[in-house]
Amino acid sequence: MFTNRKATMALSMNTLAFTVCFACWMLNGVLVTFLIENQIFAWSDSQIGWVIGIPVLSGALFRLPAGILTDKYGGKYVFSAVMLLAAIPMYLLSFADSYWSFFLCSLAFGIVGSSFAVGIAYTAVWFKPENQGTALGVFGAGNAGAALTSMGAPFLLAWLTKGGENIDAWRAIPRFYAGILLLMTVVFWLGTTHKKADDSHINSLRERLAPLRHLRVWRFGLYYFLLFGGFVALAQWLIPYYVNAYMMPLAMAGLMAAIFSLPSGIIRALGGYMSDRMGARRVMYGVLGTCLVACALLIVPRMAVESPGKGIMAKRSGTVTKITADALVVDDMRYALRVTDEKALRDARESEAFLVLPSIGMEQKPVVKVGDVVEKKQLLAQGTTKIYFQANVWIFTAIVFVIGIAMGIGKAAVYKHIPDYFPNEVGVVGGIVGGLGGLGGFVCPITFGMLLEQTGIWTTCWIFFTLLTGVCLWWMHHVIQRMHSKSAPALKGRIESTECYPENPDILGNPQPVLTSLHGAVRGLTRPEHRELFSFARNLKCPSDSTEDTLTGVAVPALPGDSRFSSLTTGQPRTFE
């Protein structure tokens, strides 16, 4: 895969440049938090949300035009132009002294986020289809730039401002980032070679945008809205989440957030490799299933709850004769009272002990007095249940880490689909899919903020992710089932019937009718969605060389010149590429 020196150099430069661009794109998440905490600007919550999210929005909107330009002019020129143009407003950000000047500079430098669409298209032209998943995964590891900013920027700000003594020194941060962008532009220009996709068959902008009429493109966009948009949103949202839910200082919160964002970016290369070897759709099933379970586990918030519990009712009529701390007596019948260990519950709330399960306490308080006459089944003592759930920060972080790994692998799997279906329109399709993903990075934090404002519960963001993941998983599975039914309806019926048990020779009996029908059905099935059928065929073994379907009596001709399907009549299992 990496034997071509120019291709390897292009991939290396692409990945390095994208890492720098992504680090710049995420700057406002840390910088704005620092400025507000130190009361440099007095902005409303709405203004803070907009100024943090606006670079993400502009980067998302520019991804489609950037992808189109890359298909037309080549990645070397467009990538260099994006970094050079973004460096100007990044530098001007250091002079911002009002909300609108900060807003406009952030809007302008946000175009650096469109570098993803450029890099995807420029990477794809250098590699063969069987290696594109791995190559795109390596390039996508540049997402780790978010972790570099969340980890490094707080410490850099503390060092520049001398721990808050010289607050105005924050202005050196955007200048530093602008300088890095300029340096990266020079290195990228000198280290890459011009190459672009073959677009000789495209004569107009309308033809170039033609792939966007396919619903499949927008379905990929929804997957990326969840996996990339969710990643971008959480990379920024987790910092205030840790600060508020777990009362961490900003620098520590940045480090904890990096446990999510850094591995998620790096693991993307593995996601590309897995997609090449296992198939992107199989990887997506694992990714979406993992995200669904993990997000659901995080829905329960850190809480201390009191709820009505089991009380005590009189078993017979009588007079209350005695009430003590642990018992209540009616005539000669004694009723034991449950007493909560308040100190134990308080210690559980205040201690830093590692608590996995909720702490539960129950108590019963008398509602009658000595001398009261009570009837049968009358309430004697009211029950109260007290529950404390710690939502331990390390368990929370471990589950968030798993979500980050799944999102990193899933991002690569989504983009593995694009060159398979649209080999000559990677820039356009990658641009719209990437744009929808970037839009998720803008929309999700706003949605989180609205949910938090309405409920006051931080874990509502995980409810949102659980529902969105469920929709993506359902849609993908529905489409796959429909494609299989449409491609080979007779085969689907036989696969789902009790006639076919590929791995159980005792039940299988004579597999020839199913096998020969499969032999005919797979003719012409060469698109990526048919890999599951090939995988099924690989496990079938044929005891006979006959090519006649004994159910229909129709002879099924061999597949000329295609050795991939020879195992269907020889009985030898073979891996379908």
Query: Does residue 554 carry a pLDDT above 60?
Result: no
pLDDT score of 294: 95
Cβ contacts of 85 within 8 Å, gap of 6 or more: 111
Burial of 213 (0-12, 13-18, 19+ CB in 10 A): exposed
Of 263, 244, 196, 571, residue with least CA distance to 398: 263
What is the residue-wise DSSP string for 424-460? T-HHHHHHHHHHHHHHHHHHHHHHHHHHHHHH--TTH
pLDDT score of 490: 52
Q: Alpha carbon 302 to chain centroid distance?
A: 23
Summarised one tens digit per residue, pLDDT across range 63-83 is 888 888 888 888 899 999 999
Bigger pLDDT: 533 or 482?
Answer: 482
pLDDT score of 129: 76
Q: Strands of 241-378 (E only): list them.
A: 303-313, 318-323, 327-330, 333-336, 359-366, 373-374
Q: Contact 52/35 with Cβ under 8 angstroms?
A: no
Query: Does residue 124 carry a pLDDT above 90?
Result: no
Residue 29: count of CB within 10 angstroms of its CB: 26
Query: Does residue 242 carry a pLDDT above 60?
Result: yes
Bigger pLDDT: 333 or 90?
Answer: 90
Q: Contact 126/7 with Cβ under 8 angstroms?
A: yes
CA trace torsion 454, 459, 463, 466 (10° rounding): 160
Query: Does residue 489 carry a pLDDT above 70?
Result: no
- Percent pLDDT > 90 in the chain is 22
293 pLDDT tier (thresholds 50, 70, 90) = very high
Query: Does residue 107 carry a pLDDT above 80?
Result: yes
Query: What are φ and ψ of residue 127, in 5° steps?
Result: -130, 150
Q: What does the block give as tokens for 471? A: 């929709």
Q: Contact 517/537 with Cβ under 8 angstroms?
A: no
Whole-angstrom distance, CA of residue 488 vs CA of residue 484: 6
Segment 227-240 shows an average pLDDT of 87
pLDDT score of 529: 47
H or E stretch covering 81? helix 75-92
Segment 335-361 shows an average pLDDT of 67
Summarised one tens digit per residue, pLDDT across range 142-167 is 888 888 888 888 889 888 888 778 88
Beta bridge partners of residue 373, listed in sequence order: 319
Name all domains of the chain by residue range, CATH numbers in brackets. 5-192+218-300+393-481 (1.20.1250.20), 303-389 (2.40.50.100), 488-570 (no CATH)
The identity of residue 357, as a single letter, is L
pLDDT score of 576: 32
Segment 452-479 shows an average pLDDT of 91
Q: Contact 125/243 with Cβ under 8 angstroms?
A: no
Cβ contacts of 446 within 8 Å, gap of 6 or more: 49, 53
pLDDT score of 570: 40
Averaged pLDDT score across all residues of the chain: 78
348 pLDDT tier (thresholds 50, 70, 90) = low
Summarised one tens digit per residue, pLDDT across range 433-450 is 888 888 888 888 888 888
pLDDT score of 83: 96
Tell me the HSE value of 99 on the side-chain side, using a 13 A CA sphere: 12
pLDDT score of 3: 56
Whole-angstrom distance, CA of residue 189 vs CA of residue 132: 23
- For the ranges 152-156, 221-225, 507-511, which has the lowest average pLDDT? 507-511
Segment 53-57 shows an average pLDDT of 87
Segment 230-255 shows an average pLDDT of 85
pLDDT score of 501: 39
- For the ranges 74-78, 213-217, 219-223, 292-296, which has the lowest average pLDDT? 213-217
Query: What are φ and ψ of residue 572, in 5° steps?
Result: -95, 125
pLDDT score of 548: 38
Summarised one tens digit per residue, pLDDT across range 385-435 is 887 777 788 889 999 999 999 998 998 888 788 877 777 777 778 778 888
Q: Alpha carbon 411 to chain centroid distance?
A: 7
pLDDT score of 202: 61
Of 408, 144, 405, 410, residue with least CA distance to 262: 144
What is the residue-wise DSSP string for 508-522? H---HHHHHHHHHHT
pLDDT score of 291: 95
Print burial letters for 117-150: b (CB count within 10 Å at least 16), e (below 16).
bbbbbbbbbbbeeebbbbbbbbbbbbbbbbbbbb
Beta bridge partners of residue 555, listed in sequence order: 548
359 pLDDT tier (thresholds 50, 70, 90) = confident
Q: Alpha carbon 214 to chain centroid distance?
A: 24
Query: Does residue 510 carry a pLDDT above 90?
Result: no
Burial of 203 (0-12, 13-18, 19+ CB in 10 A): exposed
Q: Contact 233/404 with Cβ under 8 angstroms?
A: no
pLDDT score of 543: 39
Q: Contact 440/228 with Cβ under 8 angstroms?
A: yes
> Looking at residue 279, what DSSP letter applies?
-
pLDDT score of 332: 83
pLDDT score of 198: 66
- For the ranges 196-205, 301-310, 366-375, 407-416, which has the lowest average pLDDT? 196-205
- For the ranges 16-30, 391-405, 488-502, which has the lowest average pLDDT? 488-502
Segment 261-276 shows an average pLDDT of 81
